[in-house]
């Protein structure tokens, strides 16, 4: 081997080592949703969510259409209440008529498989098992939050949705439509089906700033990878806007059990009916560095329950993740 060949081999090896050093196969993070993040003084409807997740980049063939595959595991809890977490009147007496959206907690564990293709489309398949109702500990979690931060006393959880088991499947789809140096446009669609949530939605997503391909981006939860992917940018920092039209067929946090609807003599459950068509808007910023992902989003939804007093509700969502491993 002459000097030129030796030098070339060294440079190629150094490049391969550098590329592999950028690979982070594992990701651990959490997401917190709360309407108090927007400092509006409101505490209504979807009032709190907490999620912990783990993602792992999977091995794939390097010369195929599939360019990244990510396995995800998640546990989470969502809490819903009416216009307020207290339905007491001025005389401190409970008023069930104040319940314009049912009290409900949802606790679950789930898994996803994210299949990301070279043409910048992806399918994310998911499954969740859990429970809606008192077993989800929504009241207890909200009580801890209110006690910790000195918020008002809760009342009305005795009217919450009864226990109902949840087995749900989901499918998300993204597809790049067009892109220039600082902006791109993606089509998005989802569908959920199961014993608790049956709905679907569609809409576009616009990204502005420094973003990577959809197979290795914060916006598609695909920054964990086992493959040496050449990104558009070493770091992502972009703003996004994602409006959607959502069709709701069934929601157990509003309507109660889809199955086993027999009356429970001891139950004080108050249910309602969902709006079949709901509009939503997500506006946020995402950052992905060598090891850390950060994001903040504002979500605004139109009325999703027919009896809701307010025509819209909104909350903030904070996402933090750390990548490690090779």
220-253 pLDDT, tens digit per residue, is 999 999 887 888 999 999 999 999 999 999 999 9
Section 278-306 average pLDDT: 96
Cβ-Cβ contacts under 8 Å for 73 (sequence gap 6 or more) = 53, 54, 55, 109, 110, 111
Instruction: Establish if 12 belongs to a structural domain.
Output: no
Backbone angles phi, psi at 237, to 5 degrees: -150, 105
pLDDT at 9: 47
CATH number where 151 lies: 2.40.128.140
Q: Return the number of other C-beta atoms located less than 10 Å from residue 29's C-beta.
A: 21
pLDDT tens sequence across 87-107: 998 888 888 999 999 999 999
Helices (H), 221-324: 252-255
Tell me how far apart the alpha carbons of residues 60 and 72 are, in angstroms, rounded to a whole number.
16
pLDDT tens sequence across 19-36: 333 567 899 999 999 998
Count of domains in the chain? 1
Tell me how far apart the alpha carbons of residues 290 and 273 are, in angstroms, rounded to a whole number.
46
The residue assigned the tokens 């000097």 is 3
C-beta of residue 314 within 8 angstroms of C-beta of residue 280: no
**Strand pairing of 66-81 and 45-57?**
antiparallel
- pTM, 2 dp: 0.89
pLDDT classification of 119: cutoffs 50, 70, 90: very high
Instruction: Establish if 16 belongs to a structural domain.
Output: no
Structural domain of 110: 24-324
For residue 264, pLDDT over 80 is answered with: no
Query: Would you mind telling me the total number of residues written for the chain in this entry?
Result: 326
Q: What CA–CA distances, in Å, run from 74 to 62, 77, 108?
A: 28, 10, 8
Tell me how far apart the alpha carbons of residues 82 and 66 are, in angstroms, rounded to a whole number.
45
Tell me how far apart the alpha carbons of residues 155 and 87 are, in angstroms, rounded to a whole number.
6
Q: What angle do CA 299, 295, 287 make, to 5 degrees?
A: 140
Section 149-163 average pLDDT: 92
pLDDT classification of 325: cutoffs 50, 70, 90: confident
For residue 62, pLDDT over 90 is answered with: no
Instruction: Establish if 39 belongs to a structural domain.
Output: yes
Query: Which SS3 state, helix, strand or coil, does residue 211 take?
Result: coil
Instruction: Establish if 151 belongs to a structural domain.
Output: yes
What does the CA dihedral 17, 19, 22, 26 come to, rounded to 10 degrees?
-90
pLDDT classification of 316: cutoffs 50, 70, 90: very high
CA 52, 100, 133, 301 torsion-angle sign: negative
Averaged confidence pLDDT in the chain: 90
pLDDT at 19: 39
For residue 256, pLDDT over 70 is answered with: yes
Tell me how far apart the alpha carbons of residues 8 and 13 are, in angstroms, rounded to a whole number.
9
C-beta of residue 123 within 8 angstroms of C-beta of residue 173: yes
Instruction: Establish if 31 belongs to a structural domain.
Output: yes
pLDDT at 144: 95
Lowest mean pLDDT among 98-107, 145-154, 232-241, 314-323: 145-154
Backbone angles phi, psi at 135, to 5 degrees: -65, -15
Tell me how far apart the alpha carbons of residues 290 and 272 are, in angstroms, rounded to a whole number.
46
């Amino acid at each position: 081997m002459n000097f030129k060949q030796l030098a070339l081999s060294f440079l190629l090896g150094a490049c391969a080592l550098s590329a592999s050093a950028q690979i982070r196969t594992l990701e651990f993070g959490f997401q917190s949703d709360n309407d108090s993040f927007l400092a509006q003084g409101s505490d209504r409807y979807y009032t709190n969510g907490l999620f912990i997740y783990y993602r792992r980049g999977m091995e794939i063939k390097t010369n195929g259409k599939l360019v990244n595959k990510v396995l995800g595991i998640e546990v989470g809890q969502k809490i819903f209440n009416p216009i307020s977490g207290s339905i007491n009147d001025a005389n401190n007496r409970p008023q069930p008529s104040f319940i314009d959206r049912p009290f409900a907690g949802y606790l679950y564990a789930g898994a996803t498989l994210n299949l990301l293709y070279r043409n910048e489309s992806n399918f994310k398949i998911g499954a969740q098992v859990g429970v809606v109702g008192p077993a989800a500990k929504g009241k207890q979690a909200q009580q801890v939050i209110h006690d910790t931060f000195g918020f008002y006393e809760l009342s009305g959880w005795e009217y919450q949705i009864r226990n109902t088991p949840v087995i749900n499947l989901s499918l998300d789809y993204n597809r790049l439509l067009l892109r220039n140096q600082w902006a791109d446009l993606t089509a998005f669609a989802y569908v959920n089906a199961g014993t608790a949530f049956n709905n679907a939605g569609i809409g576009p997503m616009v990204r502005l700033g420094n973003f990577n391909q959809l197979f290795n981006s914060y916006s598609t939860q695909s920054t964990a990878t086992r493959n040496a992917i050449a990104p558009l940018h070493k770091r992502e920092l972009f703003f996004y806007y994602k409006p959607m039209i959502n069709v709701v067929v069934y929601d157990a946090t509003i309507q109660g059990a889809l199955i086993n609807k027999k009356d429970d003599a001891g139950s004080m459950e108050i249910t309602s009916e969902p709006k079949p068509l709901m509009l939503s808007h997500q506006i946020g910023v995402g950052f992905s560095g060598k090891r850390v992902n950060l994001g903040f989003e504002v979500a605004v939804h139109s009325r999703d329950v027919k009896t809701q007093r307010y025509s819209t509700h909104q909350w903030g969502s904070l996402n933090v993740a750390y990548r490690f491993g090779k």
